[in-house]
Chain A
C-alpha cells in the first residue's frame, strides 16, 4: 500500500500544479496542454484504483477527443500564436467563488457517499478485480442499472452535433 500512496501523492501534486498552471498561463494552447496533464494524472489515479477501463476512457475521450476539439477550436480563431494578450477579466472574484463552491459541493458529496469506503484490495488477482471493476463490470452496469442513461447519451451527443453543424453552416 505504501507504493500506492507515494504514487498517489506524485499524481495528485502533478495534477494540482498543472491545474494551477492551466488557469494562470497566458497562452491558450499551453492551457490546453496543462489540461492534458491534469486529465492524464486523473487517468493514472483511476489505474491506482484498479478502474482501468475508466482510465482508458479518460485517455480516449478526454485527452484523445475533447482536448483535440479544444485545439481545433483555438486554431479556428484569429488569435495569433502565443500572444493572446490579457486573458483575465474582472470576473476573477466571481470565478474564484464558483470554483470554491464546486469544490465544497463535490467534496461534501464524495465524503458523504464514499466516506466509509476502503480502497480496493489491489493484492487480489486479476480475475477478482476484473469481476468487480474491469471492463466486463462496466458493461454489466451499462446494460442493467444504467440502460436508460446509456441510450440518452446517444441522443445528447446527437443534439450536440446537430447544434454544432447548425452553428457552423450559418444558413
Chain B
C-alpha cells in the first residue's frame, strides 16, 4: 500500500529537476488561474442568485474583471495606520497566502489510479505522480498549514492597532481553531479507511474498485463528509460563517486597515483557500481524479474528472453563500463544539469498531447493534447531564434574582 513518488527513486538527473520544476509551475498556474476564474465565477453566480448582471465589462462576460481589479489595487496608495505594528503588519499577508499555496502541493490533480498505472504518468523518461509533492504525512500537512493560516488572520487584526480588526481577528481565529478540531477528527475517518496518510494512497484506495461505492463519501457513510464540508466552510471564513468580516458588526473584519495590494493578498488567500479546500474535499471523499476513462488520450480524463468534481464544490460554496443567512457567533461555536466534535468522535469510534469487527469475523449484525446501543447510551447520558446542569443553572439564576429583590 505504501508507495512513494517514484520520481526521485532513481536519483537526480536533469529530467527529474525539470519535472519537479514543471510540476511546481503547473501548480502555481493552476492556483493563480483558478483564483482569477473563481473570483469571476463567484461574483457572476452571486449576481445571478440576486437577479443582477454582475461583472460584464472587462473581457468576454466580464471574465477579466479580476485582472482589472488587481491592476487597480496595485496602483492604489498603501496606507498603514500610525498605531500599527510595522513588522507584523507587513508579515501578516505572507502568513495568509503562503500556507494557501502550500496546501495545494499535496493535491493530486491527475493520473490514472486503476490498473498498473498506480496514479503515475510517464514524463521525460520518468514515472511520477501528478501532484507537486507527496509527503508521507499527507493530510496532516493540510492541518498544519491551516493552523499557520490562523496566524495570518490573528496577526493582521492585532497589528492594525484598531478596534474592529482586533475584534474580527479574535473572532476569526477562535472560530478557525474550533473548526480545525472538527476538521481533523473528520479526516481521521478517511485515514481509517485508507490506512495511510498520504493523499496519493487515499485516492488510490478509493479508485481501486473503480466504482463510486468505493469513494470515501460512501465508505465512511456521509457523516465525516458533511462534518468536513461544514468545518471547511468555517475554516475558510466563508458565509454563512463569515464572522471575521460581518460587515454590519465589524466593518471589514481583520483586514479593515489594509489597503492596496496588501489587501489584495488577503483577498487572494481567501479564494485560493476556497479552491484548495474544495480540491481537498474532492481528494479525500470523492476519489480525486479517479473516474471512467473515455476515448482519446487517456491521461486527460483524470484531470477532466478532477476539474469537474472541483467545479461542483466551488459552485456549491457559492450556492451556500447565496442562499444561507449568516449564523450568530454563539450558534457557530455551539455547532462546532456541541455538535460536530462529539458527532465526529462518535462516528470515528463507530467506524473503527465496525472495521475491526469485520477483521475479526465478528457477527456483522451484533457489532453495529452493540455500537449503536453504546452510542445511544452515550448520547442519552450526555443529554441527561446537560439537562440537569441547565436546571441547576436556572435555579441558581433564580436564587440570584431572589437575593437581589430581597
List chain A positions with a Cβ less than 8 A from chain B.
27, 29-30, 33, 36, 52-53, 55-56, 59-60, 63-65, 68, 71-72, 75, 81-82, 125-127, 130, 134-135
A130-B154 contact in complex given A60-B140, A75-B170, C-beta closer than 8 Å: no
Give the CA-CA distance A55 to B137 in the complex, in Å: 10
Residue contact B4 to A64, C-beta cutoff 8 Å = no
Residue contact A135 to B136, C-beta cutoff 8 Å = yes
What is the CB-to-nearest-CB distance from B8 to chain A, in angstroms, rounded to a whole number? 9
Give the CA-CA distance A140 to B140 in the complex, in Å: 18
Asked if B144 CB lies within 8 Å of chain A CBs, one says yes
Give the CA-CA distance A30 to B88 in the complex, in Å: 8
Which of A53, A63, A72 touches B137 (beta carbons < 8 Å)? A53
14 other contacts beyond A64-B180, A81-B83, with CB at 8 A cut-off?
A29-B88, A33-B155, A52-B135, A52-B136, A59-B147, A64-B143, A64-B147, A65-B177, A68-B150, A68-B177, A72-B174, A81-B158, A126-B4, A134-B136
Residue contact B170 to A81, C-beta cutoff 8 Å = no
A56-B141 contact in complex given A63-B147, A125-B9, A135-B136, C-beta closer than 8 Å: yes
Residue contact A81 to B85, C-beta cutoff 8 Å = yes
Asked if B187 CB lies within 8 Å of chain A CBs, one says no
Interface string of B139-168 (1 = CB under 8 A from A): 011011001101100110010010000100
Which of A56, A68, A134 touches B144 (beta carbons < 8 Å)? A56
Give the CA-CA distance A125 to B155 in the complex, in Å: 40
Q: Which residues of A contact B9 (CB under 8 A)?
A: 125
A60-B147 contact in complex given A68-B154, A81-B158, A135-B137, C-beta closer than 8 Å: yes
Which of A75, A81, A126, A135 touches B197 (beta carbons < 8 Å)? A135
Interface residue SS majority, chain A: helix
Which of B85, B144, B166, B197 touches A64 (beta carbons < 8 Å)? B144
Residue contact B137 to A52, C-beta cutoff 8 Å = yes
User: Interface size bucket, B side?
Assistant: 20 to 34
From B150, which residue of chain A is reached at the shortest CB distance?
A68
Q: Which residues of A contact B173 (CB under 8 A)?
A: 68, 72
Asked if B75 CB lies within 8 Å of chain A CBs, one says no
Asked if B87 CB lies within 8 Å of chain A CBs, one says yes
Residue contact A75 to B158, C-beta cutoff 8 Å = yes
Asked if B124 CB lies within 8 Å of chain A CBs, one says no
Q: Which residues of B contact A64 (CB under 8 A)?
A: 143-144, 147-148, 150, 177, 180
Q: Name the interface residues of B173-217: CB closer than 8 Å to any CB of A.
A: 173-174, 177, 180, 197
A29-B85 contact in complex given A52-B137, A81-B161, C-beta closer than 8 Å: yes
Q: List 28 A-B contacts (CB under 8 A).
A: A27-B85, A29-B85, A29-B155, A29-B158, A33-B88, A52-B136, A55-B137, A56-B144, A60-B140, A60-B143, A63-B148, A64-B143, A64-B147, A64-B148, A64-B177, A64-B180, A65-B177, A68-B147, A68-B150, A71-B154, A75-B170, A82-B85, A82-B161, A125-B4, A126-B136, A130-B2, A134-B136, A135-B197
Give the CA-CA distance A75 to B136 in the complex, in Å: 37
Q: Which residues of A contact B158 (CB under 8 A)?
A: 29, 71, 75, 81
Give the CA-CA distance A55 to B180 in the complex, in Å: 18
A126-B2 contact in complex given A65-B177, A81-B161, C-beta closer than 8 Å: yes
Q: Which 7 A-B pairs have the closest CB atoms?
A: A64-B147, A126-B4, A59-B144, A56-B140, A56-B137, A81-B161, A52-B137
From B177, which residue of chain A is reached at the shortest CB distance?
A68
From A74, which residue of chain B is reached at the shortest CB distance?
B158
